[in-house]
Amino acid sequence: MNRLAKRLIVPTVLLCALAAVGTVGGCDRGSTATTQGTGGGGSGVKIGFVVKDPTEPWFQNEWKFAQQAADEMGFTLVKIGATDGNTAMAAIDNLAAQGAKGVVICTPDTKLGPALKAKADENGLKLLSVDDQFMDADGKPMTEVHHVGISARNIGKSVGTALAEQMKARGWATQDTGLCVVSFDELETARERTDGATEALLATGFPKARVFKTPQKTNDVPGAYAAVDILLTQHPKIKNWLVCGLNDNAVLGAVRAMEQRQIKAANVIGIGINGTDAVDEFRKPEPTGFYGSILLTPRRHGYETAAMMYKWVTEGKEPPKITYTDGILITRDTYEKVMKEQGLL
Binding site for ligand FCA (CB under 6 A): 56, 58, 106, 131-132, 150, 189, 219, 247, 273-274, 296
Rounded CA-CA distance 198/201 in Å is 5
Q: How far is the CB of 78 from ligand FCA (least distance, A)?
A: 20
Nearer to ligand FCA, 58 or 335 (CB): 58
Nearer to ligand FCA, 16 or 142 (CB): 142
CB 214 within 8 A of CB 180: yes
Q: How far is the CB of 193 from ligand FCA (least distance, A)?
A: 8
CB atoms within 10 A of CB 30: 15
Nearer to ligand FCA, 40 or 149 (CB): 149
Rounded CA-CA distance 34/49 in Å is 10
Q: How far is the CB of 149 from ligand FCA (least distance, A)?
A: 7
Q: How far is the CB of 247 from ligand FCA (least distance, A)?
A: 4
Q: How far is the CB of 278 from ligand FCA (least distance, A)?
A: 11
Nearer to ligand FCA, 58 or 75 (CB): 58
Nearer to ligand FCA, 126 or 193 (CB): 193
- Range list of β-strands (E), 239-288: 240-245, 268-274
CA distances from 37 to 25, 29, 32 (A): 13, 20, 17
Rounded CA-CA distance 66/47 in Å is 10
Question: Strand, helix or coil at 274?
Answer: strand
Q: Which helix (H) or strand (E) holds 254?
A: helix 248-260
Question: Residue 5 burial (CB < 10 Å; 0-12/13-18/19+)?
Answer: exposed
Q: How far is the CB of 130 from ligand FCA (least distance, A)?
A: 8
Range 339-344, long-range pairs (CB < 8 A, 24+ positions)? 339/275, 339/279, 339/295, 342/295, 342/297, 342/299, 343/299, 344/61, 344/275, 344/276, 344/295, 344/298, 344/299
Q: How far is the CB of 279 from ligand FCA (least distance, A)?
A: 14
Q: Are strands 328-331 and 290-295 parallel, antiparallel or unpaired?
A: antiparallel
CB 153 within 8 A of CB 192: yes
Nearer to ligand FCA, 132 or 304 (CB): 132
DSSP states of 108-130: S-GGGHHHHHHHHHHTT-EEEEE
Q: How far is the CB of 293 from ligand FCA (least distance, A)?
A: 10
Nearer to ligand FCA, 314 or 325 (CB): 325
Nearer to ligand FCA, 191 or 311 (CB): 191
Q: Are strands 126-130 and 102-105 parallel, antiparallel or unpaired?
A: parallel
Nearer to ligand FCA, 72 or 186 (CB): 186
Q: How far is the CB of 175 from ligand FCA (least distance, A)?
A: 33
